[in-house]
Amino acid sequence: MTSFLNGPAQGKTLQLKRSPHFLRVVEANGKWDALDKLSDKPEKHETLYAYEITGTAGQVHIYGTKISGWYSLANYKFIASQPTDAQMRDAATWRQWCMDNAPKKP
């Protein structure tokens, strides 16, 4: 399960399949989701927020009557210096922002 430690999505938990380093979280009419799949695109009416993973992601298997499968287990923190809305809405621009802001490896 993916949890959000602060920011607009604080206290929310989502069942996501992936845990990218940077994650776009969307809200529309009080409903929260995240654009975790490579093919995900934001809807025009959704408000976007950028989050960054904290620690190492894991996986958890859920077996139930309504959902079943492997889900990401991760915590995210709100990025104080948010990318622009235009940067988060366009897939190529978002990828470039992520590469430009990725932590530098020693």
The answer to whether 100 and 30 are in contact (CB under 8 A) is no
Q: Which position has the higher pLDDT, 28 or 67?
A: 28
Would you call 105 helix, strand, or coil by DSSP? coil
pLDDT in the model for residue 28: 96
Minimal CA–CA distance to 76: which of 26, 19, 35? 19
Torsion over CA: 51, 54, 58, 62 (sign): negative
- What is the number of alpha carbons within 13 Å of residue 78 lying toward its C-beta? 12
The predicted model scores a pTM of 0.91
pLDDT in the model for residue 8: 97
The full DSSP string for 4-17 is: E-SSTTTT-EE--S
pLDDT in the model for residue 67: 77
